Structure 1
Amino acid sequence: MIQKKGDTVIIKGSKFMYVWMFLATVGFLLACIFLIIHGLKFNSKYSFLYLGGGIVLTPFYLHLTIWSLPGLIPGKVLFKIISREKGTVISKKGTVLISDIRNINLVRNPLNLINDIVIETFHDKKIKIRTYNLLGDLDYEMIVDQYIYPYMTENAKKVWDRKVDLEHLRKEARYERKEPKID
């Protein structure tokens, strides 16, 4: 999930999340098709329920599957962080200096139910990094806290400290915040 090459940290989805997303999208889509096929056989008193459920849920899961397909590419790099004093966050949508970050959030898009990392800068610029739900909430918080937080401005650090629950991270993920050596 996290690869380090010098100062560069490459963030990819975990294998567990790849399997989870595949099952949640393609698996449920196949289940809907299965319901429609068995509903059309009319060999059960529940055939109309199978048919109705399959027909109602198929467009929803087809929509989710189509939105999630780009994330199911094995080894997909979600974003890169160059973690140092004048570091950057690099994604396909753009590059942001860590010192320019005013706010960073993990936001669920209501249209496609995919989490996006939304970075707001002091220059009123917004960068959305699509995670395809391959990055869990705890992983996101640990990555930001470990690689981005130390190089943020003091105001941005205060905003992040209000959002992150370090006690929860310590209990759930055994994560402790370490102050880095700043060159």
Structure 2
Amino acid sequence: MIQNKGDTVIIKGSKFMYVWMFLATVGFLLACIFLIIHGLKFNSKYSFLYLGGGIILSPFYLYITLWSLPGFIPGKILLKIVPGEHGTVITNKSKVSIKNIRNIDLVRNPLNLINDIVIETFEDKKVKIRTYNLLDDGDFQVIVDQFIFPYLTDNARQVWDRKIDLDKLREEDNYIRQEHKIE
């Protein structure tokens, strides 16, 4: 999930989340097709329920599956972070200086139910990084706290500290914030 290549940290989705997303999208789509096929056989008194459930739910799961497909590309890099005093967050479409980050958050898109990393800058720009639900909330918090937090401005640090619960991260992810000395 996290790879260090020189001074760059590469963030990819975890294998567990790949399997989880595959089961949640393609698995439910196949289940809907299964319900429709068995509903069309009319072998049971529940055939109409199978048919109705499959027909009603299959467009929703097809929609979710199509939105998630780009995330299933093997080796998909979600973002790159170059930590440091003059560090940057690099995506496929943009590059944001860490000192320019006012707020960073993981937000669920209500239309496609996919989490996006939203970075707000001091220049009032919003950069959205699609994660395809391959990055867990706890992993996101650890990544930001470990690689971005030490180089944020004081106000952005205060905003980030209000968002996270370090005790919960210690319990769930075994993460303890290191004291960073910026030179």
TM-score range, shorter chain: over 0.9
Counterpart residue number, 2:91: 91
Q: CA deviation at 1:92?
A: 1.5
Cα distance in 1 between the residues matched to 2:103 and 2:117: 10
Aligned residue for 1:172?
A: 172
Which runs of structure 2 are paired with 1:1-183 in the superposition (5 Å)?
1-183=1-183
Contact preservation (8 Å) 1:93, 1:128:
no
Secondary structure of the residue that 2:53 maps to in structure 1? helix
CA RMSD of aligned residues (A): 0.7
Structure 1 residue 179: Cα displacement? 2.2
**Equivalent pair of 1:11/1:80 in contact (CA under 8 Å):** yes
What's the CA shift string for 1:104-162, capped at 9, x where partnerless?
A: 01000000000000000000010000000000000000000000000000000000000
> Residues 119 and 126 of structure 1 are in contact (CA less than 8 Å); yes or no, is this contact kept in structure 2?
yes
- Gaps spanning 5+ residues in structure 2: where? none
Quote the Cα distance in structure 2 between the aligned partners of 1:125 and 1:181: 29
CA distance in 2, matches of 1:59, 1:82: 41
- Matches of 1:93 and 1:105 in 2, distance apart? 18
Question: Which residue type is aligned with residue 166 of structure 1?
Answer: L
Deviation at residue 6 of structure 1 after TM alignment: 1.8
Q: CA deviation at 1:93?
A: 2.8
Structure 1 ranges of 4+ moved more than 2 A: 179-183
TM-score (norm 1): 0.98
Aligned residues: 183
Percent identity of equivalent pairs: 76
Structure 1, unmatched stretches of 5+, are none
Distance in 2 (alpha carbons) for counterparts of 1:130 and 1:24: 18
Is the 1:93–1:127 Cα contact (8 Å) retained in structure 2? no
Q: Letter of the 1:69 partner, please give it.
A: L
| Distance in 2 (alpha carbons) for counterparts of 1:92 and 1:163 | 26
